[in-house]
Structure 1
Amino acid sequence: MHIHGATALVTGANRGLGRSFALELLRRGATVYATARRPELVDIPGVRPLRLDITDAAQVDAVAAAAGDVDLLINNAADTNGGNLITGDLRAIRSVMDTNFHGTLAMIRAFAPILARNGGGAILNVLSAAAWTTVDGNAAYAASKSAEWGLTNNVRMELAAQGTLVSALIPGLIGTQTLFDFAEQHGIEFGEGAVIDPADLVTVALDGLEADEVEIFDSLGRTAKQALSGPPISFPFAV
């Protein structure tokens, strides 16, 4: 996938990792649609802001209609606040799954024909090493990312014939305010070097896309994948 000259759409682009994606895509010469539930919060000169809640079918359809030149879809938007599965609020658990699984699927279904018309292109789904571990305090998020990993593997197979690259970005701990707030609430302290800066992760992700990699890792994500051959582990680990 060549980033320079591509037209990319990034979900959840008003802050954190999504904002870093938009900035780096622009730097590499892409045209960027930056979507968010509140597009007025997108503060990046040069992008094309669009309103998008990926759980709202009408908004997904409207964005697909407005962005018919896209050849790179980055599914970054996520709900991270589901809590544990036994004790958590069922509404929050459903919200996490609705966003991370069903919302991602809705975006892929809407943009798959657009990508086909534009030569195939690529999809990057932002997953998490939590997909392969247990996460005390936010098991619903981990379960949703497990489901999204399965989604990613299956749509890769389904879209292969149209020439669409489907990649998964599987990071460990991303240094966003969301992570730091969660750590503070649960008394978690991270060791030196355990947390990756969003800008550094985006560089890894886009380099991986340009190399046509189907799974792209940071160090903790790679460790989590390797650990799948052994007994289940809890996340965060080695921090």
Structure 2
Amino acid sequence: MTTVSGSTVLVTGGQRGLGKQIVHELLRAGAAKVYVTSRRPVPETDPRIVPLAFELADPNAAAELARAAGDVSIVVNNAGIMTFGPLLQDDQQEVERVFGIVAFGPLRVAKAFAPVLAANGGGALVNLHSLTAWIAGFPGSGTHGAAKAALISITNNLRAELATQGTQVLGVQLSLTDTELVTQIDGAKNDPRAVAADIVAALQKGESELIADDSSRHFKAALSGPVGELNVSR
């Protein structure tokens, strides 16, 4: 169980989209300070929100971020990208670029902040996953889905490895959420405000996994069935 009230939090990608809504919910739950990152941060009117420059693809940026935000007890790995290339059509350089951001970017943040969280009482780490990791044939489920699947495995291993220092690791599984990353995709989309509220509630309940919507619950149940049930192109 993680106490949000009075805490200092880092939300990567926290100045727009779902990240911005997560910041709002954290503050509503009583967070004292929230660092928010962006490639090109803009000033915030709320003095509790502290913008920091951060590039998830930069292999050195996470360590620099940890030095700048050494007082945090909660880290939310929200920053990311959405790509739409099939594995066989993306060249290897693109596959490695996507894995470097989607899977290894959050891992670098986790590695940089693990000692920070330990020094500040254990705290919590939140990783945002994607339904694209569980299904095939969905737009973005090729290279992006494979990278998100790697992130799920990373999250599960981090949960075991960080347990000894008392760090809660929460994996958030969600489908399309109504942000600028997926404006070009048709179909039902989650309300980012509702997802953000559920993330903060799951943190405070001490949960290790949040299945944020009906689509994710459906496909998680299908994981124990025939492989073809996970292929939406059929």
2:63 corresponding residue in structure 1: 61
Aligned to 1:161: 164
Letter in 2 for 1:67: A
1:105 — aligned with what?
Answer: 107
Deviation per CA, 1:106-130: give whole Å up to 9, x if none: 0000000000000100000000122
Shift of 1:226: 1.1
The aligned counterpart of 1:186 is none
Shift of the alpha carbon at 1:208? 0.8
The structural deviation recorded for 1:44 is 5.6
SS state at 1:57 partner? coil
Tell me the CA shift for residue 177 of structure 1: 2.0
The answer to whether the aligner puts 1:146 opposite 2:149 as a matched pair is yes
Gaps of 5+ in 1: 184-188
| Pairing partner for 1:213 from 204, 207, 214 | 207
Corresponding residue of 1:48: 50
Provide the alpha-carbon RMSD of the alignment.
1.8
Residue pair 2:44, 2:50 contacting (<8 A) in 1 also: no
What is the deviation of 1:144? Answer: 0.6
What whole-Å deviation, never above 9, does each CA across 1:74-109 have from its counterpart, x for those lacking one? 001112115110112433322210011111110000
Task: Tell me the TM-score normalised to structure 1 length.
Answer: 0.89
Change (3 A) 1:198 1:44: farther
Q: CA deviation at 1:56?
A: 1.5
Q: CA deviation at 1:43?
A: 4.5
**Bigger RCO of structures 1 and 2 (CA < 8 A, at least 6 apart):** 2
Change (3 A) 1:51 1:228: same
Find the aligned partners of 1:115 and 1:214 in 2 and give their Cα distance.
17
Equivalent residue number for residue 199 of structure 1 = 193
Distance 1:135 1:111, change over 3 A: farther
Q: What is the one-letter code of the residue matched to 2:52?
A: L
Once residues 50 and 233 of structure 2 are traced to their aligned partners in structure 1, the CA distance between those partners, rounded to angstroms, is 36
Q: Aligned with 1:74: secondary structure?
A: strand
* 2:54 aligned partner, one-letter code: L
**Alignment partners' CA distance in 1, 2:19 and 2:91:** 27
Partner of 2:34: 32
Query: Where is the helix percentage greater, Structure 1 or Structure 2?
Result: 1
Q: In structure 2, the residue corresponding to 1:202 is in which secondary structure? A: helix
CA distance in 2, matches of 1:125, 1:198: 16
Q: Which runs of 5+ in 2 are unaligned?
A: none
Amino acid corresponding to residue 145 of structure 1 in structure 2: K
| One-letter amino acid of the counterpart of residue 52, structure 1 | F
